[in-house]
Homo-oligomer: A and B are copies of this chain.
Amino acid sequence: MNNVNETVVRYLAAWNERDARRRRELVAATWTPDGSYVDAARDGRGHDAIDAMIARAQASFPGYRLNLVSGIEAHSGRVRFSWAAGGTPEAPLYLGGTDFAEMDDDGRFKAVVGFTDAAPAH
């Protein structure tokens, strides 16, 4: 299991990157070509769809940045980590989640499933 920590850092950077070209590069470096993401609110498969999905999430949550708030636990090609965002004057809602990913041998994500740990009050 190579580069799992780097992939998690790159994954969060992709969610946070507002420059379209750099975001697309981070997505391609994070997911396998047919990689997927799904949570209760959104999903995408393949680099183009994931990139567009993240762009829509960024438009819905301007000013939010995801930060890692847990260790990175990995075994058997799987990884778990938690993130949080918001709770600031510019991004007042506190958002949090735990993501689970299945990785390929290079540490890229084949499938990510997100669960919500803290949700907006409305």
State the main secondary structure of chain A at its contact with B. Answer: strand
Chain A residues in the interface with B (C-beta under 8 A): 38-40, 43, 73, 75-76, 78, 80, 98, 100, 113, 115-116
**Number of copies of this chain that the complex holds:** 2
Query: Across the interface, which residues of B come within 8 angstroms of A75, CB to CB?
Result: 38-40, 115
> Nearest CB to that of A116 among chain B residues?
B73
Query: Across the interface, which residues of B come within 8 angstroms of A80, CB to CB?
Result: 98, 100, 115
- Bound together, the chains give a CA A78 to CA B112 distance in angstroms of 11
Q: Across the A-B interface, give the 5 residue pairs with the lowest CB-CB distance, nearest first.
A: A40-B75, A38-B76, A80-B115, A78-B113, A100-B100
Given A39-B75, A40-B75, 4 further pairs, Cβ under 8 A: A73-B115, A73-B116, A78-B115, A80-B115
